[in-house]
Structure 1
Amino acid sequence: MRLQRRGKRNYATYRVVVAEQRAPVKGKFIADVGHYNPHTDAFQVQQEEVTMWITKGVQPSATVHNLLVTNGILKADKVRSWRPKAKSGAAAVQPAPPETTKTAS
């Protein structure tokens, strides 16, 4: 379960869709279960559909999970939905230690 971007340029709205993990982000999806407008904080989903898909094993993305928790649909803690940026420079890239090989004798 993830968000699919819709709307105009500079005014994004999102569909909440159930899709295969390997499916393209803007491609086919299995079910459309709601929508989210971040500009007005309007979040509407079909609760029965969402709970049915989650009981079937669908894993919501971190952002969808947090939206479901905020709106009281899921009873869980929020999860981190972003990753810190990788540090650039010498500290970020460290060479692997040299491999040691044993010789047969």
Structure 2
Amino acid sequence: MLKIRMSRGGAKKRPVYKIVIADSRKPRDGRFIEKVGFFNPLLPKDKKERLSLDIERIKYWLEKGAKPSDRIARFLGEANVIPKPSQKNNPIKAKPKKKAQERLAAAEEAKKAAEEAAKAEAEKPAEPAQPENEAKAETEAPKEEKAAEAPKAESKEEDKK
């Protein structure tokens, strides 16, 4: 079975990959049929030299039945050679553990509750405007209460002495 995959090269901690057509039974860095591109992960994503693909040869090998690896399928999807693979349906990727799933569910519930509260507040009718005299009376009343409470606090401190 033919695979389109990466073959590692480069120095220690400085990888450079060749994109090759190889028999799936051969080792990763072993014998391959044809080199169809390269990938340098150390370069920034916006650089042209990071990834090079020979699209015509890749299409030829895809017609012959070659299967791309997950990473190569993503590259080919970005180049519009094949449809972009979805990461959600990838069975190889590990699923979140129980606690992570609980956290995600709690976050979703909190988000829904916040949305419902905002929606309810938006639907709430606006309060009628108060006349100016009543508004002044309400703002002055708390000041008088605070002034009355202050001497009580002082008398309690004196009792403790």
Q: TM-score, normalised by structure 2?
A: 0.48
| Partner residue of 1:83 out of 85, 90, 93 | 93
* 81 and 35 in structure 1: CA distance in 2 versus 1, 3 angstrom threshold: farther
Maintained 8 Å contact 1:63/1:81: no
Q: Structure 2: any 5+ residue segments left out of the alignment? A: 98-161
Structure 1 residue 81, shift from structure 2 partner: 8.8
Maintained 8 Å contact 2:76/2:84: no
The count of residues paired between Structure 1 and Structure 2 equals 86
Structure 1 residue 55, shift from structure 2 partner: 0.8
The answer to which structure has the higher strand fraction is 1
Superposition map of 1:1-105 within 5 A: 1-40=4-43, 41=45, 42-79=50-87, 80=90, 83-84=93-94
Maintained 8 Å contact 2:15/2:40: yes
The answer to which structure has the higher helix fraction is 2
Greater RCO (CA < 8 Å, at least 6 residues apart): 1
CA deviation string 1:14-51 (max 9, x = no partner): 00000001001111001100000111141101110000
Say which SS state the counterpart of residue 29 (structure 1) adopts: coil
RMSD: 2.1
Structure 1 residue 77, shift from structure 2 partner: 2.9
Q: TM-score, normalised by structure 1?
A: 0.72
Q: Which has the larger displacement, 75-84 or 43-52?
A: 75-84
Identity of aligned residues (%): 28
Larger Rg: 2
Q: Which runs of 4+ in 1 moved over 4 A?
A: none
